[in-house]
Chain A
């Protein structure tokens, strides 16, 4: 048996075009990074299923319902639901209401206060100033409202 010869290398130098190309690619990356320094990552545990089946995809399901509602939640509360103008943020409600007018409702019904508020047709929310918030119980099912609430609770 013989030992095969190692693979011969024709040249050991680095061509100038390769250096230029590498520098150019890094420059493009740097410019992109400089333009995307601020923002917020979505939560990993609410991330959609990578299989494409959409089964555990709470965000997609909720976004579909939000878009279907009239007016859509995003029309008043902003595209990222972080609030705009007089309309409050919908982030950070996992531990209870952050709006003053809903704190009592949240204390009385800690498990489903958000569902009751979005629905808006039940006796529990009678007398609370809705500030222009529609009664979505007239157009969405309880399951659809529950999906929106589950999603809102994932927003930090």
Chain B
């Protein structure tokens, strides 16, 4: 029966639904983190392509300006290969990977503990603080007066403060949920997430303390540089690698509907990772003031990280038993398998790069960036793609079977990452060899331009993959039918 709304009396009108400013719906913070992360991926890969173009044409593509502002005075802006490469790595790690990691932690934890996330609004606060801090820190990298010199996490103090607040918020939400569940032996992903969250917050706080020390008490430059190098490595081994492993341990059994093949193997991989990730960070302490044997011990830690990664891949490979056909179509399983392949490759390359003779050859060349891309754009990005493929329909509550856009996302990112990483690694080897022979600068640049051209093309493709992810999320939300999924909606009773 048709109803004329003008004739409705007040008591016939549906009650007004008041929407709080900060949503508290289950998974809302995880959804926000994932969407923002996807946008950051486009920015990061775009910056990466610009960086490689700047390496190809260093004189033509270097923009330095100075503005005379009324209150601040003279403010310089430097847009060159060094600042853009730093922007690329920071946007990749703190923009895309960290947002995706927070999304994975906040989505997976309630499902493994059986308790709804406690402190959804606190997690929202973390999301706002993290992304504001990352954006401000990224902008600061281009201002020589306040920019750090390293590749990662040398943001101005206010940006550091915002990002620490964010880490504290997500830690609070995670630990309150885990402790409320009172599980005697939580699933292995929770162990990975817990240590990754605590260690990354500690490392980041150490970096911020060094920044404060340099600003207020003139802390020695060498000490500050050593702390920054340690923090950057610890963030890679504890934060990015830890959450990647934890996410894969969740996605593969869920997507295959198989149980985890071996809890013993999984827990051993966690124990080894927990010890070796910290040892590996010590390898970044390269200075005459640090005993040589200590640095070498750290390098051995980097080599031994092969063990937990191999155990993880073996466990998940056994978990896939009987479900290998899922790899033939684009989905969470095929994305996770690509992530595992990149994980093995990047860990082996990092182990090779930690050898003394190799370090002597490729130190300061494109090698480090190439090896790092295999881990960040390869292993971690595909692990979070697999997570997004599994989790996004559940976050948006949509019935979604994928589109050709998902295929494009997979292939563009896969081809782009392989091209960029291998080209940069090749460039690093060629660069190091020519430097050792004392080749003139023109000859070095002439040879490297071909490698760099391939790398620029690869990073452009990854950016296209990021656009496909954003497009997939948009289409999923706007066009797919609503669906209900099993989800955790139980809040523990008071005192529980």
Contact = CB atoms under 8 A, between A and B. Distances in A.
A3 B268 contact: no
A2 B355 CA distance: 52
A135 interface: no
Interface stretch (A19-27, A98-106, A120-128, A145-153): A19-27
Interface residues of B, number: 76
A22 B488 contact: no
Contacts of B356: 36, 39
A41 B51 contact: no
Interface in B409-439: 424, 427-428, 431, 435, 437-439
Contact of A32 (B225, B264, B300, B484): B300
Most chain A CB inside 10 Å of its own CB: which residue of B226, B306, B364: B364
B268 A7 contact: no
Given A3-B490, A44-B229, A53-B82, A21 B263 contact: no
A10 to B, nearest CB: 4
Given A12-B264, A44-B287, A54-B364, A22 B307 contact: yes
Classify chain A's interface size. Answer: 35 or more
Contacts of B265: 14-15, 18
Dominant secondary structure of chain B at its interface with chain A: helix
Q: Binding site of A, secondary structure by majority: helix, strand, loop or mixed?
A: loop
Nearest to A28: B303
B364 A156 contact: no
Interface stretch (B206-214, B290-298, B331-339, B377-385): B290-298
B209 to A, nearest CB: 18
B299 to A, nearest CB: 8
B358 interface: no
Interface string B356-367: 100000011110
B272 to A, nearest CB: 7
B288 A57 contact: no
A131 interface: no
B369 A63 contact: no
Contact of B295 (A21, A41, A45): A41
Nearest to B435: A60
B85 interface: yes
Interface string B302-317: 0110110011001000
Interface in B346-376: 355-356, 363-366, 368-369
Contact of A53 (B81, B259, B288, B355): B81
B221 interface: yes
B82 A51 contact: yes
Contact of B292 (A32, A39, A55, A56): A39
A43 interface: yes
Contacts of B253: 7-8
B225 A44 contact: yes
Contact of A3 (B303, B437, B486): B486
B254 interface: yes
Interface string A34-67: 0011111111110111111111110110011011
Nearest to B249: A7
B101 interface: no
A18 to B, nearest CB: 6
Given A11-B264, A22-B272, A60-B364, A53 B58 contact: yes
Interface string B265-280: 1101000100000000
Task: Among A1, A57, A59, A63, find the residue whose CB has the most chain B CB atoms closer than 10 A.
Answer: A1
A1 B272 contact: no
B490 A52 contact: no
A50 B151 contact: yes
Contacts of A11: 261-264
B111 A44 contact: no
A29 interface: yes
A132 to B, nearest CB: 22
Nearest to A12: B263
A4 B364 contact: no
A13 interface: yes
A7 B254 contact: yes
B98 interface: no
Nearest to A1: B489
A85 interface: no
B259 A10 contact: yes
Interface string A93-123: 0000000000000000000000000000000
B260 A44 contact: no
Given A7-B112, A33-B300, A53 B85 contact: yes
Contact of B114 (A3, A41, A72, A156): A3
15 contacts: A7-B260, A8-B253, A9-B262, A10-B259, A13-B264, A18-B314, A25-B306, A26-B304, A29-B303, A44-B229, A44-B286, A51-B86, A52-B369, A59-B364, A68-B438
Interface of A: 1-4, 6-15, 18, 21-22, 25-26, 28-30, 32-33, 36-45, 47-57, 59-60, 63-64, 66-68, 72, 156
